[in-house]
Amino acid sequence: MGAAVHTGTCHCGAVRFEITSDLSELTTCDCSLCIKKNALMVKVHESQFRLLSREGELSEYRWNTNIARHYFCKTCGIYTFHRKQAMPEYYGVNIFCLDGVEPKTIPVRATKGATMDVVREGARDEWSGPRSL
């Protein structure tokens, strides 16, 4: 399957975006945040991502190293996408926000976010990973 443009939205439609991807692989992550949001993502380079709505429709959450930037709709709260910690020039996009995509046929790779170092002073005990303070 070749690369195609896919549109996506949050639940209420306030956050709209598009990606160009062949959707050849999805990823899960076992870090403490992705586990709680049950994330199933497709990775796309920033040059293949375009926000169609205003940035003001987004709420941002950062934790631990403050490198990854997780975005949610300010109105309905849906996780839409995030800038990745290990590769900040890439987005992880919530596959369930993409219009008309059936993820059941796409291979899934599990990533090991739980083993990333926890470097934030005062980090919650629930944040998995080795402590490097």
CATH of the domain at 41: 2.170.150.70
Q: What is the pLDDT of residue 40?
A: 94
Q: State what percent of residues in the chain have pLDDT above 70.
A: 82
Distance CA 11, CA 126 (A): 29
Structural domain count of the chain: 1
At residue 70's C-alpha, the angle toward residues 122 and 87, to 5°, is 90
Of residues 1 and 49, more confidently modeled: 49
Question: Which of 101-105, 110-114, 120-124 is the least confident region?
Answer: 120-124
DSSP 33-47: HHHHHT--EEEEEGG
Confirm whether 85 is domain-assigned: yes
Q: Which domain holds residue 27?
A: 21-99
The answer to whether residue 120 is domain-embedded is no
The band of 117, judged by pLDDT with boundaries at 50, 70 and 90, is low
Query: Does 1 map to a domain?
Result: no
- Classify residue 34: in a domain, yes or no: yes
Strands ordered across the beta sheet of 49-51: 4-9, 16-21, 49-51
pTM, full prediction: 0.81
pLDDT, tens only, 77-111: 999 999 987 788 999 999 999 999 999 989 888 77
User: Which residues fall within 8 angstroms of residue 22, CB to CB, at 6 or more apart?
Assistant: 1, 2, 3, 4
